[in-house]
Amino acid sequence: MEEEARSFLGSFVEEFPAALEDGSPLPVSPLSRKVTLEELHGESLELGLRLLAARGAPAGLSALLCQAALSQLLQNDLSPFHCAQEAGHNQEEEQPVVLLQSDAVQRLFLTKLIEVTLAWHQDFPKHPPSRFLHCSVHAIKNTRRKMEDKHLALAEFNQLFGIQSGVDCAYYAVFDGHGGVDAATYAATHLHVALSKQETLQSDTATAFKSAFKHTDDMFRGKAKRERLRSGTTGVAVLIQGQQLSVAWLGDSQAILVREGQAITLMEPHKPDREDEKQRIEELGGCITFMGCWRVNGTYAVSRAIGDFDQKPYVSGDADCSTTQLLGDEDYVLLACDGFFDAVKPSEVPHLVLDALHQSVDPEGGGDATLEQSEDTVGLRVAQQLVSHAKAAGSSDNITVMLVFLRPLKQLLAQNSSTGTAQDAPQQ
């Protein structure tokens, strides 16, 4: 791994041998034109990871580089990047929000990133290896006019945030936007940052997750007001801390765990016709009506979401969270939006995954399945085949599927694809 990292650093410093020149175009575009100081954290990390990934950087190295560059950025005086306060702002009504010019401040961040890269190329620091989990993800627009799903796979959670707890953490999330992609993009950029800052992250992950969802919703409220945005997003996020798996969610995106070929329910999606959700909304003075599907006050087909501020509090921003101890015999956790689960039952997933695995390694079906190809290549095809199955089963929505494999694929291939049970598969 160190050899791969050194090789990347060498190629990167050839492309960026010095700081970016003033006035030169940025090599990657920021997400926003203006950001608050709090939003700068997530947007800078997203920008840096995107830049490095496009150049083939090892994921662990990317996280460490971005974390180091952001730490240096935040030590600078950022007041020169402040935007002028807009005319007509009534200071008596609310505290003015300090906004930064994204292009200018992100130029400084990228300069810090280049400086760190140059320094590490000369003197590469030692870093402990992190736990690696194979992740397979695939997303399609399908027949919809726009793609409003977003997702994030972050096996290097600790490295990205400089967390030294001694427990490896990995974060995965799928967001299903509606009314535009802004809320989904915002959640994919900021939720994990908010989670990393929760004091209870190690001691009470459920409380940390719920607070992070709520804080992200509050942050997006400010952006939506400033920029007149009206979108919303459901979301499901998984944090794996050692042998503990926590899943938090808003709305009808879902995650399921598969253990020895059997689907394990981790959560119950928030839908308007769910009895407790219906009661909550009606007690607030709202109503649930059927207009092709069950909707909150005749509008949104979800009862909880980030955004959708025109229907708060009926569409709640409060997430739920559940925690499961991993025993070592788990196969994988699957996260997906409703575009998948509306067409595929959770009980069908184990068979579909095993069939996809066997098809990936033995597409002709003429011999014993082997992993002659890399596990990365085989794993990536699994999500593609699940998405294709959901589309063929009638889904017309955006579809995103993410699988996080919790044990080697060769063990999963030892399972019988017709029964979904393990056959002499060695335990982890």
Are 108 and 144 within one domain?
Answer: no
Contacts of 35 (CB under 8 A, 6+ apart): 43, 99, 100, 102, 105
Stated pTM of the model: 0.92
In a domain, 287, yes or no: yes
Are 113 and 139 within one domain?
Answer: no
Number of domains making up the chain: 2
Assign 38 to helix, strand or coil.
Answer: helix
Rounded to the nearest 10°, the torsion over CA 239, 332, 388, 396 is: -40
Helix 205-227 to helix 37-53 angle (10° resolution) is 100
DSSP lists the bridge partners of residue 235 as: 175, 250
In a domain, 422, yes or no: no
Assign 138 to helix, strand or coil.
Answer: strand
Query: For 415, which DSSP code?
Result: B
Are 104 and 145 within one domain?
Answer: no
Q: Where are the beta strands (DSSP E) in 300-363?
A: 306-307, 320-325, 330-336
In a domain, 421, yes or no: no
Are 266 and 117 within one domain?
Answer: no
Q: Decide: 303 and 270 in contact? Cβ < 8 Å.
A: yes
Rounded to the nearest 10°, the torsion over CA 157, 160, 166, 167 is: 0
In a domain, 128, yes or no: no
Are 201 and 252 within one domain?
Answer: yes
Domain that holds residue 262: 135-412
Are 213 and 322 within one domain?
Answer: yes
What is the residue type of 330? E
pLDDT at 165: 84
In a domain, 424, yes or no: no
CA dist 7 → 16, 219, 256, 319, 417 (Å):
14, 39, 38, 42, 41
Residue 288 phi, psi (nearest 5) = -115, 125
Are 289 and 320 within one domain?
Answer: yes
Q: Decide: 135 and 402 in contact? Cβ < 8 Å.
A: yes
Are 319 and 206 within one domain?
Answer: yes
pLDDT at 421: 47
In a domain, 426, yes or no: no
In a domain, 90, yes or no: no
pLDDT at 91: 47
For the record, the structure tokens of 50 come out as 């995107």
pLDDT at 212: 98
Are 249 and 334 within one domain?
Answer: yes
Nearest partner of 305 among 24, 295, 400, judged by Cα: 295
Preceding amide of 363 cis, omega within 30: no
In a domain, 419, yes or no: no
Are 263 and 204 within one domain?
Answer: yes
Are 247 and 115 within one domain?
Answer: no
pLDDT at 92: 45
CA dist 216 → 58, 136, 221, 306, 332 (Å):
28, 26, 9, 8, 28
Q: Decide: 339 and 395 in contact? Cβ < 8 Å.
A: yes
Are 191 and 104 within one domain?
Answer: no
CATH number of the domain where residue 176 is located: 3.60.40.10
DSSP lists the bridge partners of residue 34 as: 101
pLDDT at 232: 97
Number of alpha carbons in the 13 Å side-chain half-sphere of residue 392: 6
- Weakly modelled stretches of the chain, pLDDT under 70: 86-94, 128-131, 362-376, 378-379, 415-428
